[in-house]
Structure 1
Amino acid sequence: MSTPDTSFRFGDFNYACSMVSLTLCPLVGQSDGVEPVCYSRNVRLVDTLIFQPSTLIIHIIALIMTAIMIYHIRSKYTAVGRKEIIMFFYLYILVTIMDLLLISGIIPTASSLYPYFTGVHLGLISATFWCLLLNGFVGFQFAEDGTPLSLWSIRISSFVVFAAVTFLSIATFKDLGPFKREAPIALWIVFFIFNGAAFLIYVILQIVLVVNTLDDRWPLGDIMFGVLFFATGQVILYVFSVDICNFAKHYIDGLFFGTIATLLSVMMVYKYWDSITKEDLEFSVGSKQNVWEVKELLGEDEMAGGGLYGQPGGGPGSQHGGYGGFNGGAHSPAAGPYGQPNYFEERY
């Protein structure tokens, strides 16, 4: 077997796969894929080899943390874009589950199903980035959040992206038509450029949203931390993974820290969304306080006017006689328009 050229080239996964064991690496390049220079040790569990055990633990933690974030999002009934952002976290859960099954060897690379699961995995990754991008437009209210137009536009378009990337991936792995595993240019463009552009556009949209519409600038810190975590994870994966692996004696590699960085960036997406929507509940409570204040003012007016109908002498049936009747009270110089004494003129 010839040694593949691992130098960086446009449209070639050889460099990336030599640094870190991505799920697609056994399916691109040469017939048996591209193996990383250094990767984490495996462990035997009940006669089954488990690859990347440390990263597997991080994936389980990521599932728990994402479930907690979804619970908090669902509890904020008045938050803007609640139903839209929750779709992003559901997709992230699916990506994490697929990643967990593939990199751990639970679905072995020798299995005939591995290319199809990997295609679904790559499709889910692109759909997740696309869903995040569309969530960046929710705050601009091009379509009212929570409406069928807003929700189904995200759902349908995300499914289209998922289906297209899944087909492209499987076609590349199987050498169908113009797609070749030895030259996966289209898949490389989607994996790095399309996904990266979606993330970058989302960040720019949120910066514009905060600067132009919010008085508080603290959410910019959440955005910057999210970008920092994501960028750090990518640098660790594709630059320092081999160095980390050699330093740690193959116990962990860059995939471990890259997965942690990705989880932290997803958590910052939640933190940012929470920071720009938390005042909705405060606003609703403030509205109730204003209602009570109006009721108190109305109560003072009623007392000043002499009763519910402005007649201190009784209800609407007391029209003949009494202190404020229509007949007798009309001749009083201090009478109001309905015959009641005009206390306001006396008081003020």
Structure 2
Amino acid sequence: MSFGDFNRICETVALTVCPLVGAPQGIEPTCYSRNIEVAGTLIFQPATIIIHVIALIMTTIMIYHIKSKYTAVGRKEIVMFFYMYMLLTFLEVLLVSGIIPTASTLYPYFTAAHIGLITATFWCLLLNGFVGFQLTEDGTPTSLWTIRLSSLFIFAAVFFLATATFKGMASFNPLRPVALWIVLYVFNGAALAIYISCQVLLIVNTLDDRWPLGDIIFGMSFYTVGQLILYKFSVQICDKAKHYIDGLFFGTICTLLAVMMVYKYWDSITKEDLEFSVGSKQNIWEVRELLEDSARTIDYIFIHLHTLKRVQTQFSWQNFLY
């Protein structure tokens, strides 16, 4: 992968940006997954589309579990990342499958939105990396709107950059899309690296438990393996699988696993309100047992006092008779 050059990348794997850069008619990969016909419509990358559908289902489940943890730190912040990943996955389905064909006049704009959303999602993940440090209190309007507005700004800026590159506007050139390459691979890579560094620092300096480091390592490993398969071995996989799948299939799986590990990591360092409820119930039972023990002690004292009073009364009558 040479700096600022999409040619070798697009010859290896069919990214959504490839039909729009590097050559007047775009760049076609050496080997790519075969298409199928559904109701008279050609659907590209059918196996990858299935993984995208699974990703949408899994993301919905993760969002549901995040929303159910009412007292968890950074709950409202992290759920924005998963909403953006869900929207990103849906948009990728439209582009990769050919539902929006590359010959369509809408394709460059949808691709620009796809690239902008990728960058905004990485940016959102980066900002979530600082939530645990409590620079601003989580869940407050300041925290939430900082992420929302800055992510929207990043999306708009990258959308403009991608559109200008595809259309050859404002001195940008689709044959030499260096700025777009820097955003996709340098900026996003730096955002991911900073997020991981922040989480490792948070675990080491703040948490007593070191097990969340395993979630970080697994997530980083899944993402690295996915990128390696995507950009290095896609053609070999495609040839061996007789064009049924290519590197995009495994890259999508590994990305989904990495996102799931982001959820697993967040879940491992937060506590849900159910745990506080159980603790409260335990305290209630402890107080109840204490009150019952006190009541038994008081009853025991009263019984003994009553017995002692009867003995004293009998003793007084005996003295009177004598």
- Tell me whether the two structures share a fold, i.e. TM-score over 0.5: yes
Query: Equivalent residue for 2:124?
Result: 131
Deviation >4 Å, runs of 4+: 294-306
Query: Which structure 2 residues correspond to residues 153-168 of structure 1 after superposition, within 5 A?
Result: 153-168=146-161
Q: Partner residue of 1:98?
A: 91
Gapped regions of structure 1 (runs ≥ 5):
1-7, 307-311, 313-348
1:229 alignment partner in structure 2: 222
Task: Tell me, yes or no, if structure 1 residue 107 matches structure 2 residue 100.
Answer: yes
The CA distance in 2 between the partners of 1:303 and 1:256, in whole Å, is: 70
Q: Distance in 1 between matches of 2:280 and 2:153?
A: 42
Do the aligned partners of residues 68 and 279 (structure 1) sit closer, same or farther apart at CA in structure 2, a change above 3 Å counting? closer
SS of 1:130's partner is helix
- The 5 A counterparts of 1:297-316 are none
**Which string of whole-angstrom CA distances, capped at 9 and with x for unpartnered residues, describes residues 43-86 of structure 1?**
11111111111101110111011101111111111111111110
Aligned length: 300
**TM superposition shift of 1:291:** 5.3
Distance 2:171 2:220 in 1: 36
Match of 1:199 in 2: 192
- Structure 2: distance between partners of 1:116 and 1:87: 23
Which residue number corresponds to residue 69 of structure 1?
Answer: 62
CA distance, structure 1, for counterparts of residue 190 and residue 265 of structure 2: 20
Q: Does 1:13 align with 2:9?
A: no
Separation (CA, whole Å) in 2 of partners of 1:258 and 1:99: 13
**Pairing partner for 2:275 from 277, 282, 286:** 282
CA distance in 2, matches of 1:147, 1:303: 50
Bigger fraction of residues in helix: 2
Distance in 1, matches of 2:298 and 2:180, equals 78
Identity %: 69
SS for the counterpart of 1:44 is strand
Alignment partner of 1:54 is 2:59:
no
**CA, structure 1 residues 136+67, in 2 after alignment: closer, same or farther (shift >3 Å)?**
same
| Distance in 2, Cα, partners of 1:304 & 1:160 | 69
Question: Are the equivalent residues in 2 in contact too, given 1:78–1:281 (CA < 8 A)?
Answer: no
Q: Which residue of 1 aligns with 2:310?
A: none
In the TM superposition, what whole-angstrom CA distance separates every residue of 1:146-179 from its partner, at most 9, and x where no partner exists? 1111111111111011111111000100001121
Aligned pairs (5 A) from 1:18-29? 18-29=11-22
Give yes or no for contact 1:172–1:184 (8 Å, CA) kept in 2: yes
Inter-partner Cα distance in structure 2 for 1:281 and 1:199: 32
SS across alignment from 1:105:
coil
Please, which of 206, 214, 225 is the counterpart of residue 213 of structure 1?
Answer: 206
Q: Which residue type is aligned with residue 147 of structure 2?
A: I
Counterpart Cα distance in 2 of 1:287 and 1:179: 62
For structure 2, list consecutive stretches of 5 or more residues without a partner in the other structure: 303-322
Report the counterpart of residue 324 of structure 1 in structure 2: none
Q: CA RMSD in A?
A: 1.9
Contact 2:35 2:44 in 1 (8 A): yes
Q: Distance in 2 between matches of 1:217 and 1:99?
A: 36
Alignment equivalent of 2:26, drawn from 23, 28, 33 = 33
Deviation, structure 1 residue 300:
7.1
Match of 1:342 in 2: none
How far 1:88 moved relative to its partner?
A: 0.3
Letter in 1 for 2:185: F
Residues in 2 aligned to 1:278 and 1:240: alpha-carbon distance in whole angstroms: 41
Q: Which residue of 1 aligns with 2:314?
A: none
- Give the whole-Å Cα distance in 2 for the aligned partners of 1:48 and 1:279: 47
Q: Which residue of 2 aligns with 1:143?
A: 136
8 Å CA contact 1:58–1:260 kept in 2: the answer is yes
- CA contact under 8 A between 2:70 and 2:272: conserved in structure 1? no
Q: Amino acid of the residue matched to residue 94 of structure 1?
A: L
Secondary structure, counterpart of 1:277 in structure 2: coil
